[in-house]
Structure 1
Amino acid sequence: MNEQKIPVAVLSGYLGAGKTTVLNHILSNRNGLRVAVIVNDLSEVNVDAELIKDGGGLSRTEEALVEMSNGCICCTLREDLLREVEKLAKQNRFDYILIESTGVGEPVPVAQTFTYLDEEHGIDLSQFCRLDSMITVVDAYRFWSDFSSGETLLERKQAASEEDTREVVDLLIDQIEFCDVLILNKCDRISGDELNELEGVLRTLQPRAKLIRASHGKVDPSEILHTGLFDFDEASASAGWIREMEKSVHIPETEEYGIASFVYERAKPFHSGRLMEWMVNWPEEIVRSKGTVWLATRNDMGQSLSQAGPSIRFGPSGYWVAALPEQERQEILQDESEVFEHWDPEHGDRINKIVFIGIDMDRAQIVSSLDDCLLTELEMRMDWSSFPDEFPAVETRQQEEVVH
């Protein structure tokens, strides 16, 4: 029965956003709720756990504090997390489990831990507990400087390992785009207009989440505990770019503070050289973009474009259905009839479809400049393999990966 399962909330957010302050405030105002706390930190000395102890929100008889060091929930400590949650849930002593994730942790692997059977370790947490909400804390004061820094976690000496090549902005976006509750903390440190603009951007990036403004981590526990907001499928499809991409009709909207989004869609390939030149001069007003790109020089395989601030990731996303062997192509078209909806007699499902989210974007200019990067009618009749291609050479993925 669902009501017998202990609810779990996961607190994510970049380093310094104020997760521990929020956690301390919740523990100090929990109105008798018996809470087990798991703190996950990358440092050897678990400062967060010490702060929680000092915060006076824990009672030895009512609460448990589990310290996890030298790793993060989504990688080296995943088994530890599974074991700890299972142990705490089986004790039947707690009303709630709160997990403070490391500041460089991504939320999706954590959510998967609670949603699916871990076959490797034979643990199914869904038997004992249910994920109640994924909460992300955003630092209103530092958000734009972190977002536009162009720095990697390694450069900031915050990486999970030497192989961790993530950029700070990509982590920020991952944490915002997959959550049920967004706590915009340190609101007292910026002006009202700055706050309204930032909130508008966050609502566009993540329209589904409940957004709460806070200062000094002061959030009413009832606003974030026992919400029942988490749904893995809904959370996975909740990012603003996904919602914009899936709209059947795209009506241009001018939002307050100039925040807007639109979809660029063209059934004609890009000239790789011209597109590369366009990307080198990426318009600064574009905050976030995501989509599928059709490059003339890589006609068999769709390319994935994912941009957040100064970070641009580009690489193969899978084979176009039209590029597959005849039998395989027919099987997909039979099973997934929606692929037929935009099927071109010559080029099949190949298409450019990119969502752009930004502030004060000149949509007409962006669309026009991208159109200039498409093949001309003369180039459409030429040998596309002869065109220059300066995009990074990436090993092609397995043929079973298909773009839809």
Structure 2
Amino acid sequence: MEHVTPIYILSGFLGSGKTTLLSRLITYFKQQGLRPAIVMNEIGEVNIEGLVAGEEVPTAEMLSGCICCTIRSDLSSEIAMLIQREQPDVIVIEATGIANPMEILDAAAEASLYMRIDVKKLITVVDAAHLLHLNIEQKGKTYRLMQEQIRAASALVLNKMDLVNDQDKETIQQLLGRWNPYAPIIPAVRCDLDVEDLLQSGPHGQNEHSHVHGREDRDVHVHVDKQEHANSHDHADNHDHGHAHDSHDHVMSYTYYFSHAVNSVEFERFIAGLPRDVYRAKGILTFNDTNSRFLFQYAFRESDFLKITPQGQVPDVVVFIGEHFQKSLLREQLEMLEGKISRA
């Protein structure tokens, strides 16, 4: 019998912890003797997580756009090519934080026209503290998008529970229960959880293959139209790959490539002063005062630095994601850090 490739979709807003969970899933699959593959989507030009995911894990990168809009039609062909080229035992799709998961499900369903696949689960990672903050105001596109990501999930990972008190924990769990009464809720800190329990957990009162939210998990067996498959990439050649890619009207990104190492103290000062409109930033940097390279992550006023040794030719780069921030101001500040322009 021809192999049916299981697919897991990771959803969740910017900085919720999807990449941490992705890393735990990949480790788990390897321990099970399986060969995993990844489809990673970033709104910026450079997939920072992909640079450190490990060369042994086949990865299809979809950059400068979002699965659910500007390059959505590419997702099905990326999955098909990944299966044909690498023959993985399992695929994990990590969507950018601004993606509507129902659109991703539709795109993954389209891939079933090419290949025998089975979308097993849509897992949404929820930042507990951020959701609590958004729920106080109960308005804005970010709030509505997070609702959609939660409602579409077949399992919810309620992450960063160490950042909320006991009363808030109960409030958040009740909120998730109202928005999605079917999905099991798994509390976690840094997405530290039992992966097997997560993957095997089914909707409340139903088994994993039951009909959920009007959608039934099944695999479809259709012959691949190779010409259509090849043509599905045509529009990508005309896609705008400029440094300042805008998407979803309210969400935008800015990519900056460094030509020199920068001072770590000055960079941390710059990050601490980022406008609130910048929700997420990440990059790989070389600091001239430590002579080391670091993976840098920033989400909702918190930053983290991890010393790394990237493989191959990896540029020093940082990507900012947010709403209506001034790209020119960020560029000017970064050029000052590099000494390209003098300080006023």
TM-score bracket for this pair, using the shorter chain length: 0.5 to 0.7
Once the two structures are superposed, residues 122-141 of structure 1 have per-residue CA deviations (whole angstroms, 9 ceiling, x without a partner) of x714x421101011010012
Tell me the TM-score normalised to structure 2 length.
Answer: 0.55
In structure 2, the CA distance between the partners of 1:41 and 1:216, relative to structure 1 (3 Å rule), is same
Task: Report which of the two structures shows the higher radius of gyration computed on alpha carbons.
Answer: 1
Native 8 Å contact 1:7 1:132 kept in 2: yes
What SS is found at the alignment partner of 1:4?
Answer: coil
For residue 212 of structure 2, what is the amino acid of its counterpart? E
Task: Give 1:91 shift.
Answer: 4.0
For these two proteins, the number of residue pairs brought into alignment is 210
Asked if 1:207 is matched to 2:181, the reply is: yes
Q: What is residue 102 of structure 1 aligned with on the other side?
A: 96
What SS is found at the alignment partner of 2:93?
Answer: strand
Q: 2:157 aligns with which of 178, 183, 189?
A: 183
Query: Matches of 1:221 and 1:184 in 2, distance apart?
Result: 14
Query: Matches of 1:151 and 1:26 in 2, distance apart?
Result: 33
Task: Give 1:96 shift.
Answer: 0.6
Native 8 Å contact 1:133 1:224 kept in 2: no
Query: Matches of 2:101 and 2:183 in 1, distance apart?
Result: 14
Task: Give 1:83 shift.
Answer: 1.1
1:276-355 matches, cutoff 5 A: none
In structure 2, the CA distance between the partners of 1:231 and 1:59, relative to structure 1 (3 Å rule), is same
Asked if 1:124 is matched to 2:113, the reply is: yes
Asked if 1:136 is matched to 2:137, the reply is: no
Native 8 Å contact 1:148 1:169 kept in 2: no
Q: Gapped runs of 5+ residues in structure 1?
A: 153-166, 239-404
Aligned CA RMSD, in angstroms, stands at: 2.6
Q: What is residue 310 of structure 2 aligned with on the other side?
A: none
Query: Matches of 1:16 and 1:102 in 2, distance apart?
Result: 10
Native 8 Å contact 2:101 2:149 kept in 1: yes
Asked if 1:67 is matched to 2:85, the reply is: no
Task: Give 1:180 shift.
Answer: 0.3
Q: What is residue 340 of structure 1 aligned with on the other side?
A: none
1:2-401 matches, cutoff 5 A: 4-30=3-29, 31=31, 32-50=33-51, 52-53=52-53, 58-60=54-56, 63-91=57-85, 93-115=87-109, 117=110, 124-125=113-114, 127-149=115-137, 152=140, 167-225=141-199, 234-236=212-214
In structure 2, the CA distance between the partners of 1:44 and 1:112, relative to structure 1 (3 Å rule), is same
In structure 2, the CA distance between the partners of 1:196 and 1:150, relative to structure 1 (3 Å rule), is closer
Native 8 Å contact 2:125 2:159 kept in 1: yes
Task: Give 1:233 shift.
Answer: 5.5
Task: Give 1:76 shift.
Answer: 1.5
For residue 94 of structure 1, what is the amino acid of its counterpart? P
Native 8 Å contact 2:9 2:95 kept in 1: yes
Task: Give 1:4 shift.
Answer: 2.5
Task: Give 1:113 shift.
Answer: 2.0
Tell me the TM-score normalised to structure 1 length.
Answer: 0.48
Structure 1 residue runs of 4+, over 4 Å off?
149-152, 226-233
Task: Give 1:236 shift.
Answer: 3.9
Native 8 Å contact 1:147 1:168 kept in 2: no
Native 8 Å contact 2:73 2:107 kept in 1: no
Query: Matches of 1:209 and 1:234 in 2, distance apart?
Result: 9
What SS is found at the alignment partner of 2:147?
Answer: helix
Percent identity for Structure 1 against Structure 2: 30
For residue 35 of structure 2, what is the amino acid of its counterpart? R
